[in-house]
Amino acid sequence: MPNSIASLTLTKRQKELVDFLRDYRKDKGISPTQREICERFGYTSFGTLQKHIRLLLDKGVLVRDWNKRRALLPAEELHELQARQNGFPPLTAHTDTAGPAGLKAVSGATGVRDLPLFGAIAAGSPIDVASEQETVSVPDVLTRRGENYVLRVRGNSMIDDGIQDGDFVVVHRRRKAENGEMVAALVNGEATLKRFYREGNGHIRLQPANERMAPLMVREEDLEIQGVVVGLMRRY
């Protein structure tokens, strides 16, 4: 189980952000948007807020509820919800001999399924099943009804969404996506992990979560959606 907030060293502003998020969710039942957080603390730039969020995600204090506009929530809230639903803490990481991926569910966990590992997702590498198919054990809470699979992330294009090089994302196989959803997609045969936005006139914007990277504009006919990201796993 990740460290509790009390056991972590937070700056005054980081603690204020976490307290605001927790109080907002307690009062309204949902998380604030990033715009609302900026207004609360007087930030004129989303970049300033993103730096705080990135650090809090890295420390495990905050987590993201994937594919939702109001996505941020305190980690302990998600842990408690998952424990109630499944009777075990969320999968964080293992580096033992739990199969080729080196990941497995928490000892004694129930509600776990083995999903195929379809290799790495990075520019220039198509999403294909390896000749000797590998599998990863994934808690049901990180999956959706239907077909799911796992991809190993290469690169830092989604770092501001808390996804780092070497992470494993759980993908729900779908051929269509809604605006704002994070998709695994093929663009002219090359794989990429980005957020999906329909721009009109037959064009799609694939938005990275890295302020140093520009969005990718593609024609709809050149894009093949392979699925939508619904879960994240990481080694520690």
Structure token digits, residue 223? 């894009």
Output DSSP code: residue 175: S
* Separation CA 120–CA 102 (nearest Å): 15
Structure token digits, residue 167? 């992470």
pLDDT at 133: 63
Q: Report pTM.
A: 0.55
Answer whether CATH 1.10.357.10 is correct for domain 5-86: no
* Sign of CA pseudo-dihedral 65, 225, 196, 55: positive
Which regions of the chain carry the CATH code 2.10.109.10?
A: 112-233
* Sign of CA pseudo-dihedral 58, 62, 63, 64: negative
Reported as a single tens digit per residue, the pLDDT across 27-86 is: 888 888 888 899 999 988 778 888 888 788 777 787 765 445 566 778 767 655 544 444
Based on the residue annotation, tell me whether 68 is a catalytic residue of this protein. Answer: no
Residue 131 burial (CB count, 10 A): 5
Reported as a single tens digit per residue, the pLDDT across 116-131 is: 888 777 533 445 434 3
pLDDT at 80: 57
Q: Where are the beta strands (DSSP E) in the chain?
A: 62-64, 72-74, 112-121, 134-139, 148-153, 168-172, 182-187, 190-200, 203-207, 216-219, 223-233
Based on the residue annotation, tell me whether 194 is a catalytic residue of this protein. Answer: yes
Which regions of the chain carry the CATH code 1.10.10.10?
A: 5-86
Catalytic entry in 4, 28, 157, 176: 157
Answer whether CATH 3.20.20.210 is correct for domain 112-233: no
Q: Is the pLDDT of residue 168 over 70?
A: yes
